[in-house]
């Protein structure tokens, strides 16, 4: 089992590296215009001229998938960043304060955890309106409660450690103890959790794009590409299959690396 996990690290890392480069510099992979097409080349199957084929407007699907990675992955990364920062702050305050404040904060966190995450995202996006940034905020808010609960548990655990008590006895201030001892040692599991949540964020962002809440057309986005290809499932399978396989590859790669990081964190 350990050998299989280690063997899968390199392919997973390569998939994520390619996806990250495509999101940051899509021109390195494709020079074709992802928005303009040629109606004379509409619905061409994958081949030498068009690696992923063309869509109903003659646009190169490979170029649209590559440029769509910017919207999808950037939104997922922003969402995880919001969730980590917000959840870590809430968990740190709750774990440090203790008492009634801790109980009040965690009851609020439990309420958020009781609400289905996708439903919560839909509510936030409905309030803010459609768009990639709005989707990122909604996904980040829905995932913050998970990070808050983990951070609070780690803070409570670290606060009882001998080195934290020794720092308090030696006269180190409470704020300095939190910053130099509690926070660094409590934030380790958040890295593994953030990696796992990144895969969930990619799926959620793609799902919202599929429903029409993501990037507005004609801008490409993985979920909207799948949605746009639905009317052509019988005649042009590649319009939905190829973007779907890209999403699956990225999510599996992220989850695999997340499990590896979590395993190493538990061993420590």
pLDDT digits (tens, 9 = 90+) for 227-256: 999 999 888 999 999 999 999 999 999 988
Predicted pLDDT of residue 168: 62
Number of domains, the chain: 1
96 is a domain residue: yes
Predicted pLDDT of residue 122: 87
38 is a domain residue: no
Q: Any idea of the CA torsion for 28, 31, 36, 40, to the nearest 10 degrees?
A: -130
213 is a domain residue: yes
Structure tokens at 142: 């829905």
256 is a domain residue: yes
CA-to-CA separations, 168 to 11, 189, 260, in angstroms, rounded: 46, 24, 35
Domain that includes residue 156, residue range = 7-20+65-267
Q: Report the CATH number that the domain containing residue 223 is assigned in CATH.
A: 1.10.3720.10
Predicted pLDDT of residue 174: 64
CA-to-CA separations, 178 to 7, 92, 145, in angstroms, rounded: 38, 9, 21
List the chain residues with pLDDT less than 70: 1-8, 160, 162-181, 264-268
CA-to-CA separations, 150 to 21, 53, 91, 145, in angstroms, rounded: 31, 45, 7, 9
Predicted pLDDT of residue 55: 93
Predicted pLDDT of residue 31: 85
Predicted pLDDT of residue 93: 86
Structure tokens at 199: 């895969």
Predicted pLDDT of residue 171: 60
């Amino acid at each position: 089992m350990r050998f299989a996990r280690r063997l899968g690290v390199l392919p997973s890392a390569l998939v994520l590296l390619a996806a990250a480069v495509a999101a940051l510099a899509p021109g390195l992979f494709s020079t074709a215009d992802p928005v303009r097409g040629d109606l004379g080349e509409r619905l061409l199957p994958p081949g030498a001229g068009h690696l992923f084929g063309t869509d109903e407007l003659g646009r190169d699907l490979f170029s649209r998938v590559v440029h769509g990675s910017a919207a999808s992955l950037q939104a997922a990364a922003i969402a995880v960043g919001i969730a980590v920062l917000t959840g870590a702050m809430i968990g740190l305050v709750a774990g440090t304060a203790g008492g009634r404040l801790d109980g009040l904060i965690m009851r609020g966190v439990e309420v958020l955890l009781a609400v289905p995450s996708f439903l919560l995202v839909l509510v936030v996006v409905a309030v803010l309106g459609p768009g990639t940034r709005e989707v990122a905020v909604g996904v980040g808010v829905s995932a913050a409660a998970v990070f808050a609960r983990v951070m609070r548990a780690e803070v409570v655990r670290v606060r009882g450690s001998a080195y934290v008590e020794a720092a308090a006895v030696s006269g180190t201030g409470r704020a300095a103890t939190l910053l130099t001892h509690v926070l660094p040692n409590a934030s380790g599991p958040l890295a593994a959790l953030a990696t796992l949540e990144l895969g969930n964020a990619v799926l959620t962002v793609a799902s919202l794009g599929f429903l029409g809440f993501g990037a507005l057309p004609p801008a490409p986005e993985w979920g909207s590409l799948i949605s746009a290809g639905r009317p052509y499932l019988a005649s042009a399978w590649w319009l939905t299959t190829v973007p779907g396989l890209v999403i699956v590859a990225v999510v599996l790669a992220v989850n695999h690396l997340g499990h590896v990081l979590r395993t190493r964190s538990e061993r420590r």
